[in-house]
């Protein structure tokens, strides 16, 4: 397993366990994550606090969230990886059951994420409704 694959496994494991201290150790203070602004949790989030804010927004809008990794690739210089994830969930505001694919691009330096970008395929077709979050 490469260093980036190990990083990804560590981050996913820490998020799944809600291990805030481990997550904090994997996210650079200058971290920035970009989500399409058409999503109810879209926008740009900064730093460790921004990562936690994003996670709160995501789980506030999507319930019973499950993911399955479909593809993983990394660049030769060992700083970026990209993956495609199958995401299934229920939209909290509407009850709509969804299945979509998410493409993510992560940049990791010195064992910490410095940037991430995510795209939800077919997001415009999802009935997001109005959320109380």
CATH of the domain at 102: 3.10.450.50
Tell me if 128 is assigned to some domain: no
pLDDT band at 61 (very low <50, low <70, confident <90, very high): very high
Residue 131 within any structural domain of the chain: no
Given the structure tokens 């998410």, which residue do they identify? Answer: 102
Which band of pLDDT confidence, cut at 50, 70 and 90, is reported for residue 125? confident
Residue 130 has pLDDT above 80, yes or no: no
Q: What is the mean pLDDT of residues 96-107?
A: 95
C-alpha 127: how far from chain center:
20
Residue 108 falls inside a structural domain = yes
Would 62 be classed as within a structural domain? yes
Residue ranges making up the domain that contains 88 = 3-123
Q: What average pLDDT score do residues 48-53 get? A: 95
What is the edge-to-edge ordering of all strands in the sheet holding 80-91? 43-46, 27-35, 112-120, 97-109, 80-91, 62-74
| Mean pLDDT along residues 62-73 | 95
**What is the domain count for the chain?**
1
- Find, among 40, 89, 91, the residue nearest to 67 by Cα: 89
Q: How far is CA 114 from CA 38, 60, 128, in A?
A: 23, 24, 29
Q: In this structure, is residue 69 part of a structural domain?
A: yes
DSSP H or E stretch at residue 53: helix 47-61
Q: Is residue 55 part of a domain?
A: yes
Domain-embedded: residue 130? no
For 68-126, the DSSP string reads EEEEEEE-TTSSEEEEEEEEEEEETTT--EEEEEEEEEEEEETTEEEEEEEEETTGGGS
User: What is the rounded radius of gyration, in angstroms, for the C-alpha atoms of the chain?
Assistant: 15
Q: Is 114 part of a structural domain of the chain?
A: yes
Instruction: Indicate if the pLDDT at residue 133 is higher than 50.
Output: no
Question: Other C-beta atoms within 10 Å of 77: how many?
Answer: 6
CB 77 within 8 A of CB 103: no
């Amino acid at each position: 397993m490469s260093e980036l694959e190990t990083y990804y496994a560590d981050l996913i494991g820490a998020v799944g366990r809600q291990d805030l201290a481990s997550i904090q150790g994997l996210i650079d203070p200058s971290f920035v994550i970009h989500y399409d602004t058409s999503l109810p949790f879209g926008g740009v989030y900064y730093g460790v606090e921004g990562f936690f804010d994003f996670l709160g927004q995501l789980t506030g809008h999507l319930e019973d969230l499950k993911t399955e990794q479909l593809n993983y690739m990394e660049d030769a210089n060992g700083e970026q990886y990209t993956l495609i994830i199958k995401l299934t969930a229920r939209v909290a505001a509407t009850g709509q059951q969804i299945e979509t694919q998410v493409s993510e691009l992560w940049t990791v330096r010195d064992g910490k994420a410095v940037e991430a970008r995510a795209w939800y395929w077919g997001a415009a077709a999802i009935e997001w409704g109005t959320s109380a979050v």
